[in-house]
């Protein structure tokens, strides 16, 4: 797979063809790729809400109705919309669940390896919790790694996509009951197929030159 071509081809879609639906097999493959996103010390501090019905997408669109109305069509006209959520705290229950899943998946040769992984992960969690005091920001960084995985995956499947930060997270959290579940919404991803009216589809991609972006040592 030519990932460079994928990166050059994908762009932020501004308008969707509401009549077109993503095949379920494609959705399933993309979600499986999303589930396997990387995260620091395999912390996986995320949850994903997937909306594919008109009713579900309308619920998400409540978060754009006031200050971010220009984003509403990107939610209601897209085939599928994913809300990327981050934990509001790194709980004991979550740390234990991750460790148990790693054990079930055969990650540890012996009990010593299991204990070492548990200690290493907790070390980094405590580093951000107590020393750097940025544990929430750190967890959100991991969620954005998942967003990057989904964007490249969408391009690989021939889908159009739009990452959206222009929404009211308080409204969305309340609508979905996220904070009661220990999460908060961070970013939204619309997925589907571009409309003919999407002006951005015909524009050249623009990035800073290599000389400004990279330093080689």
DSSP string covering 138-167: HHHHHHHHHHHHHHHHHHHTT-EEEEE--S
Kindly state the tokens that stand for 179: 């904070």
Mapping DSSP to helix (H, G, I), strand (E, B) and coil, where does residue 84 land?
A: strand
DSSP annotation of 194: B
Phi, psi of 14, rounded to the nearest 5 degrees: -105, -20
Q: Are 178 and 115 in contact (CB under 8 A)?
A: no
Mapping DSSP to helix (H, G, I), strand (E, B) and coil, where does residue 49 land?
A: strand
Q: Are 52 and 80 in contact (CB under 8 A)?
A: yes
Query: Which residues are known catalytic residues?
Result: 14, 74, 165
| 183-192 β-sheet, strand order | 46-51, 80-87, 183-192, 160-164
Kindly state the tokens that stand for 214: 């990279």
Q: Which of 32, 71, 38, 91 shows the shortest CA–CA distance to 172?
A: 71
């Amino acid at each position: 797979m030519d990932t460079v071509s994928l990166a050059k081809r994908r762009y932020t879609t501004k308008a969707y063809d509401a009549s077109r639906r993503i095949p379920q097999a494609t959705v399933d493959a993309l979600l499986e790729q999303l589930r396997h996103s990387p995260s620091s010390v395999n912390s996986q501090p995320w949850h994903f809400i997937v909306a594919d019905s008109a009713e579900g997408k309308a619920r998400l669109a409540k978060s754009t109705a006031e200050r971010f109305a220009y984003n509403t069509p990107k939610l209601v006209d897209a085939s599928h919309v994913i809300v990327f959520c981050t934990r509001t705290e790194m709980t004991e229950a979550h740390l234990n669940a991750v460790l148990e899943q790693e054990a079930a998946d055969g990650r540890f040769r012996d009990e010593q390896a299991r204990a070492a992984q548990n200690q290493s992960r907790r070390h980094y969690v405590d580093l951000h919790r107590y020393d750097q005091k940025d544990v929430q920001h750190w967890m959100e960084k991991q969620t954005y790694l998942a967003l990057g995985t989904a964007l490249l995956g969408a391009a690989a499947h021939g889908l159009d996509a739009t990452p959206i930060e222009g929404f009211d997270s308080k409204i969305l959290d309340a609508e979905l009951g996220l904070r009661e579940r220990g999460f908060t919404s961070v970013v939204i991803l619309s997925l589907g197929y571009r409309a003919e009216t999407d002006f951005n589809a015909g524009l050249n991609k623009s990035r800073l030159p290599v000389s400004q972006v990279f330093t080689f040592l």
